[in-house]
Amino acid sequence: MTQRETWTSRVGFILAAVGSAVGLGNIWRFPYMSAENGGAAFLVVYLIAAALIGLPAILAEFVVGRETKKNVVDAFRNLGGPAAALIGVLGLFTGFWLLSYYSVVGGWVIQYMTGSLTGAYFGGPEAYFGQISEGTGTILFHAIFMVVTIGIVAAGVEKGIEVGTKIMVPSIAILMIGMAAWAFTLDGAGAGYEYFLSPDFSVIAENYQSIIPDAVGQALFSLSLGMGAMVTYASYLDGDDNLLSDGISITVLNTFVGVLAGFVVFPLLFAQNIDPGDAGAGAVFVTLAQAFAELPAGRIIGFVFFLVLLIAALSSAISLLEVVVSYFVDNFDVSRPILTVGIGTVVFLLGVPSALSIDTFTMFDMIANNILLPLGVVLTILFVGWIYGGGAVAELRRGLGSTSGFGPVWLWHIRTVVFLAVLGTLALSIMTFMSA
Ligand code: TRP
């Protein structure tokens, strides 16, 4: 068997992890979650959740990956035996499941990108969404998205993922900053910032039961936690870098892109007098598309916006596929390109029902977000906190240098605060799922 690949540099690892984290979650989900939870109030709770829950949880995945240098199944098995390996198996399953419909959204984004240039949705974004989100055309674009994802992953960790994310992540940042600067010139900018940035703390006080779990859930989803993506990426680390500082860089960059998305989306909506609270999950594809249709430079701005969304979705999709591919590459003596094409084809087929029916799509999304991912996070935290425990601290401390005293503090924090927060989020997610 050939030698296991590693990142060629620390920046390579950080950018790959940021690429995984920055995705539809930041640009599509984050603004509409904010809008549903009272705008700025949500931002405040989200920032706290990212720092207190997201960052410690990403470190838990990192130590598992870096210590074992194995795919998600073998990593957990090495540290905790066959029972722990089941956490990894759940991760593989979630990888197939999530990517199958994530790729369908990727296909929608391609159709909106081209539709911006031709003005295809300008007559009626809602009708356009209905048209492109289900049917044989949707399957075709889902296939195109999967082919590109497969192409990058097949090229390998260094030549595919690392090189790819080194181009993609800076492009996302630059284009988003450019769009935010443009949004600043819109008439609605002031009202948009006001809505996004000045929190009404009474909203938090009155709605904390829904705001807190939504913010925690968003922080976990956005950091790609709960299915071994970060375990897998950290397994390609070699050496003892400071995982805490890498984790902080990744969390900050990821949050930065989410906030930038707010700086683009809210001025646009307010410029067109669209109430962000009405937008819901259709925010990007219907409401924002509406704004593009009505703006003078709408075609080009719309194109750039959906291009960024596409790049972000792609750099996340490769991490989902890599979780599964990594397991097969480690365990079977078959070449990576062949395995990647095989696994990618299975993912494509699993996504076909979601491409044919938006109701199936919604069901896949609910099961992933409300059950699979929060369950994966809870099990990971439980395992790392209470079973791997001291070993996890020792692994984290390698590279912490003078801040190594953080190790034990981190352990108690994930055993208590993080564990309770993710358990509460899981319980509420399951209740939401049952009542849906
Ligand atoms: N974090 C990505 C986003 O914000 C989605 C994602 C990619 C993901 N890989 C993941 C979510 C793994 C959970 C687990 O869009």
Q: Write the pLDDT tens digit of every residue in 33-70.
A: 888 888 888 999 999 999 999 999 999 999 999 999 99
Q: Is 244 in the pocket of ligand 1 (CB under 6 A)?
A: no
Q: Is 111 in the pocket of ligand 1 (CB under 6 A)?
A: no
Q: Is 229 in the pocket of ligand 1 (CB under 6 A)?
A: yes
- Residue 371's CB: how many other CB atoms inside 10 A? 15
Query: Which ligand 1 atom minimizes the distance to the CA of 24?
Result: 15
Say whether pLDDT at 30 is over 90. Answer: no
Q: Which of 116-130, 153-167, 199-213, 347-361 comes out lowest in average pLDDT? A: 199-213
CA of residue 380 to ligand 1 center, whole Å: 16
Q: Which of 43, 70, 91 is nearest to 227 (CA)?
A: 91
Hey, what long-range contacts does 364-369 have (CB within 8 A, 24 or more apart)?
364/97, 364/100, 364/101, 365/101, 366/433, 366/436, 367/97, 367/433, 368/94, 368/97, 368/98, 368/101, 369/217, 369/221, 369/429
Q: Which residue CA neighbors atom 9 of ligand 1 most closely? A: 224
pLDDT-derived band at 149 (thresholds 50, 70, 90) equals very high
Q: What's the angle, vertex CA 269, arms to CA 304 and CA 44, rounded to 5?
A: 100
Q: Is 91 in the pocket of ligand 1 (CB under 6 A)?
A: no
Residues near 86 by Cβ (< 8 Å), separated by ≥ 6?
76
Q: Which of 63, 396, 42 is nearest to 222 (CA)?
A: 42
Query: What's the pLDDT at 2?
Result: 65
CA of residue 130 to ligand 1 center, whole Å: 25
- Whether residue 62 contacts residue 14, with contact meaning beta carbons closer than 8 Å, is answered with no
* Spatial separation of the C-alpha atoms in residues 107 and 132, rounded to whole Å: 9
Q: What's the angle, vertex CA 247, arms to CA 246 and CA 248, rounded to 5?
A: 90
Query: What's the pLDDT at 359?
Result: 92
Q: Write the pLDDT tens digit of every residue in 155-186.
A: 999 999 999 999 999 999 999 999 999 999 99
CA of residue 98 to ligand 1 center, whole Å: 9
Query: What's the pLDDT at 282?
Result: 64
Say whether pLDDT at 349 is over 90. Answer: yes
Q: Is 320 in the pocket of ligand 1 (CB under 6 A)?
A: yes
Q: Is 319 in the pocket of ligand 1 (CB under 6 A)?
A: yes
Q: Which residue CA neighbors atom 8 of ligand 1 most closely? A: 224
Q: Is 71 in the pocket of ligand 1 (CB under 6 A)?
A: no
- Residue 5's CB: how many other CB atoms inside 10 A? 19
- Say what the pTM is: 0.95
The residue-averaged pLDDT of 280-284 equals 66
Q: Which of 118-122, 281-285, 349-353 comes out lowest in average pLDDT? A: 281-285
In three-state secondary structure terms, 227 is coil
Q: Which residue CA neighbors atom 12 of ligand 1 most closely? A: 224
CA of residue 104 to ligand 1 center, whole Å: 14
Q: Is 230 in the pocket of ligand 1 (CB under 6 A)?
A: no
Query: What's the pLDDT at 297?
Result: 86
* Spatial separation of the C-alpha atoms in residues 121 and 115, rounded to whole Å: 6
Q: Write the pLDDT tens digit of every residue in 235-275.
A: 999 988 999 999 999 999 999 999 999 999 999 888 888 87
Dihedral over Cα of 300, 301, 306, 308: its sign:
positive
Say which residue the tokens 């190594």 belong to.
404
Ramachandran angles phi, psi of 133, nearest 5°: -90, -5
Q: Which residue CA neighbors atom 4 of ligand 1 most closely? A: 25
Query: Which ligand 1 atom minimizes the distance to the CA of 226?
Result: 14
Q: Which residue CA neighbors atom 13 of ligand 1 most closely? A: 224
CA of residue 122 to ligand 1 center, whole Å: 30
- Whether residue 392 contacts residue 236, with contact meaning beta carbons closer than 8 Å, is answered with no
